[in-house]
Every structure is written in C-alpha cells, then in structure tokens.
Chains A and B, each alone.
Chain A
Amino acid sequence: MRPLFIFLLTSLLSPWGWAADSDTLNSPQWQFVHTRFLKAEPYQFDGAVKVEAPTDAEDSLNVPISFQVDGLEGIQEIVVVADLNPIPQVLRFRPKEMRPHLSFRMKLQQGSPIHVAAKTADGLWHVGGVWVNAAGGGCTLPSVGTASGDWTKTLGQVSANVWQRPDGSNRLRVRVMHPMDTGLASGIPTFHIENLNVLSEDGKVLAELDLFEPISENPMLSFDVPKQTQFKLEGRDNNGNKIQAEVVQ
C-alpha cells in the first residue's frame, strides 16, 4: 500500500516523469493544459512561437495578446490557453492561406501564464508563452452590452479595414459586435461567437478561427493576410446567430 502511495504521489508531483521539456513559465497548470487542450500529445517549448503581451495588464477585460509563429512548416492548428483562467481555452486558429500571426484581446480573471501552442504536420506541438499580471475579475463581469441592453441593436455587425504593410503582406483588422458573455456572471448565460472564418473574395478559406468565452467583448482581431483587398467573413455564435460580411479596403 505504502510504496504504491508514494509512487502515485511522486508521479503526480514530478514534472519530469513524463514531460519532454520544462515549462519556462513555471505554470502550476501546465500538466492540465497539456492533457486537456493538447490531448497529451508530444510537445516542445520552442522559441519559434513568439507571444507578446504587456507584463502588466492595464484592463483585465481587454488584455492584448499577439503571436507570430515563424520558421515552422505545415502548421495545422494554433491553440491559445490562459492557464489560470476559470475558462482556460481562449481560441483555436487554423491558418490555411495566411501567415500564422494573430492579435486579439482577452479577459483575465487573474494574472496567468498565456500559452500558445502550434501543431506541425508531424504531430508535434511547439509551445511558447508569456506571463501577464492582472488585477483580474475580467471573466465574472457582465459585458457592457448586456449590462446596458444595447447589444441587440448591433449584434453581429462587422467593421473592418485593410492596410498594405511595409513587409509585403496586408493587414486585415476586424471588429465583430458581440457581448461575448462568459456565463460566469450571475444570471447571464454563456453567449459567445464560436466560429469565424476569413475567406478570400472568391470563397476560398484563408483561415478558420474558433473563439471561446475569454475573448473580449466586441472581438477585435488583426490578421496578416495575402495581398488582397477584399474578404468575406463567415461565422456564428453559440445561439446560432450568423455572422456574414464582406470587407473591402
């Protein structure tokens, strides 16, 4: 009995027992994140996954996160997780015909490691991340739209623009009006955009995006897109409301 107990204890506590690499962010939740959101698949911490965020979040409802994954071929999917958030999974991004770059804003309930993991065609997850300190409370507040009741007038409306960038790509910025309620504020059910795809003018899918509750109200997203100036956006929320819009420069 006793040796078994000690064995279980050490295997639970030891970060070396199974991990390929140690988490540079020292996240207490890394094992859970790896098991739950990376399906316990092989991974390595990799400097190719660059994550930017302010060290101290000024606004826990709108913490800006940007990532770039350069120098890796065959990226299948990129997952963003805020380890200590009550709802840790933030988004899943599958860039098909655009660079694996993305900027967005999220809600933080407390200071947390933000992990970004990119899965390549060989099945390996490449992981990067940053720590963000925050006053917190971002996940358990009602959205401004829900609190004021204004959200019904603008739900699903898209504003956007396209810029030519000095590095040869184009920048597409998109804002979709949506409360993005987390379900953690008393009496307000979960209400968030689940899916948003970026398509070229002729309907070819450039990227797929799954969004989860921690994404900030009225999501603002920045994509590095091919040199086109017309795009389509298609998506829906968890109540079945559709998002469909055409963007021109």
Chain B
Amino acid sequence: MKRLLGIGLLACSIQLSAASFEYPLQPQAIAPDTFVLEGKTEDFSKENGGYIVNAAYIVTNDGVVVIDTGPSRRFGEQQRALIEKATGKRVIRVYITHHHPDHFFGNQAFADLPIYALPETIRGVQREGETFSNNMYRLIGDWMRDTSVVAPNQEAKLGREVIGGHELELLAFKGHTPADLAVFDHTTGVLFAGDLVFNQRAATTPHANIVDWLASLEQLLKLPFKVLVPGHGKVTQNDQPIAQTRAYLVWLQTILQQAAANGLDMNEVMATPIPADFKEVALAQNELNRSVAHLYPALEAEQLKPAKQAE
C-alpha cells in the first residue's frame, strides 16, 4: 500500500514538472520599432494562462517602452526577458492602460522601473487588486504562482513627450473603466487604444459606463492614426475595430434599456438573440451574460415606482 502511494506521488510530481508555464510569446512587428504580443480572443482559462490580452512595446533609442504587462508574474517575467533578448536593450518604462487584471499583473517583473498609469487606475488597482488576484488564481491556477499586486508607481502625465526619438502622446479617456489611458505614437502613427477598442472579441463591461465609452470612441476616431492596437484582437490599419466596438455597445445599451422597459428579469435578457453582425465576435454570449449582471440592475431600478406603504 505504501509503495503504491509512493508511485502515485511520483506520478503527480512528474506531471507537475512537465507543465512548463511558458507563454507562447511571438512579437509581431506592426510598425517601425513597434511590436505586439497578441493574446487569444478567449476567456481566462488554465489552458491559455490568461494570455488573452495584447501587450506591446516600442524600441526607442533610449530603451524599450512597454505597454501593459499581462495577466501574471510569469507573463511579465517572460515578456521582459523576451524583449531584452530580442532587442538587446533595457526596458526603461511601463504604461498600464487600465486597472483590469489581464493588463497589470505582470508588474512584479518591472517593479524596479517607473510604471505609469492614470491616478484613478492606480486607485483601482489598490482597491480591487486583491479581489482580482483571488479570482485569477481560481481561473488560471498555477500560471499565477507567486503573483502579487504591484500598483503602478507613477502618475501618467498627459500630453506629448519625446522618448528616444519617439513622440508619445498620453490621452486620458473613460468608459471601459473610470480611467482608460491611450498612447499615441506620433512618430509611427500607432495608437495603443487599450480596452476602449476590441476587435472580433466582445467588449467587457465590469466597470463600464457606455455613454462615456461611446464619447471616448468618437475622440479616438479623430486621431490621425495609421495602425490601431486594440486591447483584445488583431491589430489593424483601419478604424474598423472602433466601428465594431461602437456598434456592439450601442446594441447592448439598446437591448438592456428595452428589456428593462418591458419588465424582463435577468435570465430573460441573457436570452436575447445575438445579431448576425456579431455572430463572428468571440464570446458575445458570455459577455452579454456578464454585461447583464454589470449594467442591468441600474436600468431595471429606473423602471420601478415607489409603492404606497400601508400603515
């Protein structure tokens, strides 16, 4: 019996060491000096380790600027090692676009550097980081090993700044979260839109204000970008992902308002058919279900009237 147990334990340990927890990071060159690590358009899973997000970097004369650090310590470490090996340059600073867990949990690997974010993003990480962390351990398991919350350590200064020959403009928006940072590289024409823009992947709404979000998308459309890096989905050389994100959000807002006005409860709203336009959009049904949980309570409450309290 003891021997059997021993063999069992041995088998377990072999299985554990066989899992490498290597993220399949393959830098795509999208413009001069500019690379994207493109994640899958999936939900968090123990198979993808949370590599469902786009992280990017710009190789300047002074060193490398990183935009978003991914879902885990392992991701941040592998991202940094890959960048420094591939470019032969040091990373000099990091920008975090917003406070969602797939965008900042690699910060541990960059803790010795300035990590910039909007003030409300820093507060969001401080306020909700532990909750995110617990949930991420549940969703991606051992990929999260030794990951802890490291909040951005510098407030991003809005406006233009030349870094190693690249003129970067930092723009503050809101709508996907209360603070969404976009980075526009005037030198290459690349717009890093963060999660204000999704491409063929349904927009997520846990901290969304759709009215603000739509206004932010209008502002993004006015920028003279040549290449658009969405937070999730493929990089494009046109504004199609902005149009798609806008159409999805308008549809979402409309069906939620109509459902509330017709007295539907949440499960009935989740059964709303997904229009043909979004059939190819990954996770549309999942995100509709989540958005009902996020956005419906406020809309349905507006439709209720105070009842007459009897004495």
B236-268 interface mask toward A, CB cutoff 8 Å, 1 = contact, 0 = none? 000000000000000000000000001101111
B203-218 interface mask toward A, CB cutoff 8 Å, 1 = contact, 0 = none? 0001000000000000
Does B127 belong to the interface (CB within 8 Å)? Answer: no
Interface size on A, residues (CB 8 A): 36
- In angstroms, Cα B292 to Cα A57, docked, is 11
The reply to whether A233 and B307 form a contact with Cβ atoms under 8 Å apart is yes
B268 contact set on A, CB distance < 8 A: 66, 103
A244 contact set on B, CB distance < 8 A: 309-311
Binding site for A on B (CB under 8 A): 134-135, 138, 206, 262-263, 265-268, 270-271, 286, 289-290, 292-294, 297, 300-301, 303-311
Q: How far is the CB of B29 from chain A (nearest CB, A)?
A: 37
21 inter-chain pairs at a CB distance below 8 angstroms, sorted by A residue, are A53-B267, A54-B293, A58-B290, A59-B293, A62-B293, A62-B297, A66-B267, A103-B268, A135-B138, A159-B306, A161-B303, A161-B305, A162-B263, A173-B303, A173-B304, A175-B301, A222-B265, A232-B310, A245-B307, A246-B308, A247-B308
In order of increasing CB-CB distance, the 7 nearest A-B pairs are A163-B263, A103-B265, A64-B266, A58-B293, A159-B304, A244-B310, A245-B307
Best-buried of A56, A64, A174 by chain B (most CB within 10 Å): A64
Does A108 belong to the interface (CB within 8 Å)? Answer: no
- In angstroms, Cα B197 to Cα A21, docked, is 50
Does A29 belong to the interface (CB within 8 Å)? Answer: no
Q: How far is the CB of A244 from chain B (nearest CB, A)?
A: 4
The reply to whether A161 and B263 form a contact with Cβ atoms under 8 Å apart is yes
A163-197 interface mask toward B, CB cutoff 8 Å, 1 = contact, 0 = none? 10100000101110000000000000000000000
Does A210 belong to the interface (CB within 8 Å)? Answer: no
- In angstroms, Cα B294 to Cα A162, docked, is 24
- In angstroms, Cα B303 to Cα A160, docked, is 8
Q: How far is the CB of B266 from chain A (nearest CB, A)?
A: 4
Does A220 belong to the interface (CB within 8 Å)? Answer: yes
A135 contact set on B, CB distance < 8 A: 134-135, 138
The reply to whether B262 and A163 form a contact with Cβ atoms under 8 Å apart is yes
A71-86 interface mask toward B, CB cutoff 8 Å, 1 = contact, 0 = none? 0000000000000000
A246 contact set on B, CB distance < 8 A: 307-308, 310
- In angstroms, Cα B296 to Cα A59, docked, is 12
Does A52 belong to the interface (CB within 8 Å)? Answer: yes
- In angstroms, Cα B268 to Cα A64, docked, is 10
B301 contact set on A, CB distance < 8 A: 159, 175
Output the nearest chain B residue to A59 by Cβ-Cβ distance: B293
Of A64, A165, A173, the contact of B267 (CB 8 Å cutoff): A64
A152 contact set on B, CB distance < 8 A: none
A233 contact set on B, CB distance < 8 A: 307
Does A10 belong to the interface (CB within 8 Å)? Answer: no
B306 contact set on A, CB distance < 8 A: 157-159
- Given A159-B307, A161-B305, A233-B307, are A54 and B267 neighbors across the interface (CB < 8 Å)? yes
B135 contact set on A, CB distance < 8 A: 135
- In angstroms, Cα B260 to Cα A220, docked, is 13
The reply to whether A173 and B300 form a contact with Cβ atoms under 8 Å apart is yes
User: Which residues 53-106 in A have Cβ within 8 Å of B in the complex?
Assistant: 53-54, 56-59, 62, 64-66, 103, 105
- In angstroms, Cα B75 to Cα A77, docked, is 53
The reply to whether B310 and A173 form a contact with Cβ atoms under 8 Å apart is no
Best-buried of B265, B297, B305, B310 by chain A (most CB within 10 Å): B265
The reply to whether A157 and B309 form a contact with Cβ atoms under 8 Å apart is yes
A160 contact set on B, CB distance < 8 A: 304-305, 307
Q: How far is the CB of B59 from chain A (nearest CB, A)?
A: 39
Q: How far is the CB of B205 from chain A (nearest CB, A)?
A: 10
Output the nearest chain B residue to A102 by Cβ-Cβ distance: B265
The reply to whether B304 and A161 form a contact with Cβ atoms under 8 Å apart is yes
B294 contact set on A, CB distance < 8 A: 58
Of B206, B265, B292, the contact of A66 (CB 8 Å cutoff): B265
- In angstroms, Cα B294 to Cα A177, docked, is 20
- In angstroms, Cα B297 to Cα A59, docked, is 12
Output the nearest chain B residue to A172 by Cβ-Cβ distance: B263
The reply to whether A245 and B308 form a contact with Cβ atoms under 8 Å apart is yes
User: Which residues 9-49 in A have Cβ within 8 Å of B in the complex?
Assistant: none
A56 contact set on B, CB distance < 8 A: 286, 289
Since A52-B267, A62-B297 are in contact, a sample of 14 more A-B pairs with Cβ atoms closer than 8 Å, ordered by chain A residue number, is A52-B271, A54-B270, A54-B293, A56-B286, A57-B293, A58-B293, A66-B267, A156-B309, A158-B306, A161-B305, A162-B263, A245-B307, A245-B308, A246-B310
A163 contact set on B, CB distance < 8 A: 262-263
Output the nearest chain A residue to B266 by Cβ-Cβ distance: A64
B308 contact set on A, CB distance < 8 A: 245-248
A58 contact set on B, CB distance < 8 A: 206, 289-290, 293-294
A59 contact set on B, CB distance < 8 A: 293
